[in-house]
């Protein structure tokens, strides 16, 4: 069972006040601690458990600069076999479809039975990269997965739905699953694992290596990053009264007045 896990190196902003950098295109990352995205950590653990049960390999893939190697080495220390990092300053990192396109170029030539991603990333929360990647690869997918059972060429999964409900579905392998937190308990990294991971190679690729120099650069992204800002904290509530049509009209006026459409 050969498994590819897509992971992301993200800042931990759970206990700090987020500030925007002077260019207003990104957050101020000075002094921030980075680690593997929480959802991706569960995906890596699930991949390792499947590998331990059925054999095979686990390959972790990320997109980022050299600092992202620490996340890849953490995955290698836990038991992943291979690591790939795509790095290029031209990447439109805010565009989830561009990210999916890059991952597609990396993954399509790898022999895999299963691809795992986290449900979402803690920094942008888009929750669409996994589904877009599955569509590009032409394989079935399931999201918000809380349990995985593999039987031959079939994977049976429990999906989390609204209201505490779950859906059980079957997919033919190869398939892509986006993993929800709580599916397992991620293991700690051992000292021996860290030492072994430091000796493993991380394969580095750029857009030219993938043949995406013209398709995944910032200028080619359908999304334009205009400005990033922290919403002002306000304590204000306005009760809108009237008929349904009157209320709808007032809401539209408010949205327009604040430049949201």
Higher pLDDT, 193 or 176: 176
Please provide residue 255's backbone torsions phi and psi, each rounded to the nearest 5 degrees: -60, -45
With a cut of 90, say whether residue 223 has pLDDT above it. no
Q: Is residue 153 part of a domain?
A: yes
pLDDT value at residue 216: 66
Lowest mean pLDDT among 14-18, 59-63, 153-157, 215-219: 215-219
pLDDT value at residue 69: 96
Percent of the chain surpassing pLDDT 70: 100
Q: Is residue 63 part of a domain?
A: yes
Number of domains in the chain: 1
Q: Is residue 141 part of a domain?
A: yes
10 Å Cβ neighbour count for 158? 18
Nearest to 71 by CA among 107, 95, 97, 37: 37
pLDDT value at residue 202: 96
Q: How many whole angstroms separate alpha carbon 47 and alpha carbon 118?
A: 12
Q: What's the rounded mean pLDDT across residues 90-107? A: 90
Q: Is residue 244 part of a domain?
A: no
The residue range of the domain holding 78 is: 3-220
Q: Is residue 122 part of a domain?
A: yes
pLDDT value at residue 158: 96
pLDDT value at residue 60: 98
pLDDT value at residue 224: 82
Q: Is residue 259 part of a domain?
A: no
Listed in sequence order, the residues at least 6 apart from 141 whose beta carbon sits closer than 8 Å to its beta carbon are 130, 131, 134, 135, 171, 175, 176, 177, 178
Tell the burial category of 5 from Cβ atoms under 10 Å away from its Cβ (0-12, 13-18, 19+): buried
Percent of the chain surpassing pLDDT 90: 64
Lowest mean pLDDT among 61-75, 124-138, 205-219: 205-219
Residue-wise pLDDT for 178-204, tens only, equals: 999 999 999 999 888 889 899 899 999
> CATH number of the domain that 17 lies in?
3.40.50.620
Is residue 183 within 8 A of residue 147, CB to CB? The reply is yes
Cis-peptide, bond into residue 174, ω within 30° of zero: yes
Q: Is residue 92 part of a domain?
A: yes
Q: Is residue 115 part of a domain?
A: yes
- Mean pLDDT of the chain, nearest integer: 91
């Amino acid at each position: 069972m050969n498994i590819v896990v897509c992971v992301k190196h993200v800042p931990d902003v759970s206990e700090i006040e987020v500030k925007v950098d002077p260019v207003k295109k990104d957050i101020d990352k000075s002094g921030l601690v980075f680690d593997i995205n929480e959802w991706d950590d569960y995906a890596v653990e699930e991949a390792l458990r499947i590998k331990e049960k059925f054999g095979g390999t686990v390959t972790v893939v990320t997109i980022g600069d050299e600092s992202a190697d620490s996340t890849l080495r953490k995955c290698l220390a836990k038991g992943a076999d291979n690591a790939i990092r795509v790095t290029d300053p031209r990447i439109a990192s805010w565009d989830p479809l561009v990210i999916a396109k890059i991952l597609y170029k990396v993954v399509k030539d790898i022999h895999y039975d299963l691809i795992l991603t986290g449900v979402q990333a803690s920094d942008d929360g888009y929750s669409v990269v996994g589904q877009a990647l599955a569509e590009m690869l032409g394989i079935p997918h399931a999201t918000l997965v809380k349990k995985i059972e593999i039987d031959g060429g079939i994977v049976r999964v429990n999906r989390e739905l609204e209201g505490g409900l779950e859906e059980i579905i079957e997919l033919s392998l190869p398939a892509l699953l986006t993993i929800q937190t709580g599916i397992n308990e991620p293991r700690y990294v051992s000292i021996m694992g860290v030492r072994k991971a430091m000796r493993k190679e991380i394969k580095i690729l750029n857009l030219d290596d993938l043949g995406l120099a013209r398709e995944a650069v910032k200028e080619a992204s359908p999304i334009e990053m205009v400005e990033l800002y922290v919403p002002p904290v306000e304590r204000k509530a306005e009760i809108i009264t009237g008929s349904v049509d009157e209320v709808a009209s007032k809401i539209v006026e408010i949205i327009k007045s604040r430049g949201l459409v």
